[in-house]
């Protein structure tokens, strides 16, 4: 598979989860494992551009596909992309555990819905749990990123 545009190969057991492959084989630890039942959204990555729970997908299912993780969002090591920058400016994260999954979800959401209402953002966040922020700053950040992307 390709992860963030880089070919990553490995021989794995059929039951190895994509999240574990990303973390252990590819060495990308930004994908977090929370509930490991597909409920919290912390492990969300993009598979061929669509957000998926990497704790519910086997690594072998991603064979031949494109996987995007939070590490691939920023254009360089010294800069953030528009959505990440908006999260920073709007204080849309606290402990940061859920943030990679939320960023992956909202990145795909903004591609499909470039000018969302706060209500649509809240709905799209329904599968991502955050115990720290209360969501309002996240919604504000996504709306700010949408405004900047639509300029």
- Beta pairing partners, 58: 17
- Beta pairing partners, 143: none
- What is the per-residue pLDDT across 32-71, written as a single tens digit (0 to 9) for each? 999 999 999 999 999 999 999 999 999 999 999 999 999 9
Note whether residue 90 is domain-resident: yes
- What is the per-residue pLDDT across 63-95, written as a single tens digit (0 to 9) for each? 999 999 999 999 999 999 999 999 999 999 999
Domain count, the chain: 2
Q: Domain range for residue 7?
A: 2-72
pLDDT of residue 134: 81
Q: Which residues contact 109 (CB under 8 A, 6 or more apart)?
A: 51, 116, 121, 124, 142
| Whether residue 54 is found in the same domain as residue 110 | no
Q: Which residues contact 39 (CB under 8 A, 6 or more apart)?
A: 129
| Whether residue 16 is found in the same domain as residue 66 | yes
| Whether residue 92 is found in the same domain as residue 37 | no
| Whether residue 64 is found in the same domain as residue 87 | no
Note whether residue 23 is domain-resident: yes
Note whether residue 32 is domain-resident: yes
Note whether residue 93 is domain-resident: yes
Asked if 44 and 56 count as a contact pair (C-beta separation under 8 A), the reply is no
| Mean pLDDT, all residues of the chain | 97
CATH number at residue 36: 3.10.20.30
Q: Which residues contact 36 (CB under 8 A, 6 or more apart)?
A: 43, 55
Distance CA 142, CA 147 (A): 9
Task: Please say whether the dihedral angle defined by the alpha carbons of residues 24, 72, 42 and 10, taken in this order, is positive or negative.
Answer: negative
| Whether residue 99 is found in the same domain as residue 134 | yes
CATH number at residue 97: 1.10.150.120
| Whether residue 86 is found in the same domain as residue 142 | yes
Q: Among the three residues 72, 94, 112, which one is the final residue of a domain in this structure?
A: 72
Asked if 134 and 91 count as a contact pair (C-beta separation under 8 A), the reply is no
| Whether residue 68 is found in the same domain as residue 91 | no
| Whether residue 66 is found in the same domain as residue 105 | no
């Amino acid at each position: 598979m390709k992860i963030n545009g880089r070919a990553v190969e490995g021989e794995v057991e059929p039951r190895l989860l994509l999240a574990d492959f990303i973390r252990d084989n590819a060495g990308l630890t930004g994908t977090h494992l929370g509930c490991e039942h597909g409920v919290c959204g912390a492990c969300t990555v993009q598979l061929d551009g669509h957000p998926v729970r990497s704790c519910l997908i086997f690594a072998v299912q991603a064979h031949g596909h494109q996987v995007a993780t939070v590490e691939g969002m920023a254009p360089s090591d010294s800069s953030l992309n528009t959505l990440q920058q908006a999260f920073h400016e709007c204080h849309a994260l606290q402990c940061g555990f859920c943030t990679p999954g939320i960023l992956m979800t909202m990145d795909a959401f903004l591609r499909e819905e470039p000018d969302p209402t706060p209500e649509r953002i809240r709905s799209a966040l329904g599968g991502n749990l955050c115990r720290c922020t209360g969501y309002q700053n996240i919604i504000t950040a996504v709306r700010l990123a949408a405004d900047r992307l639509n300029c």
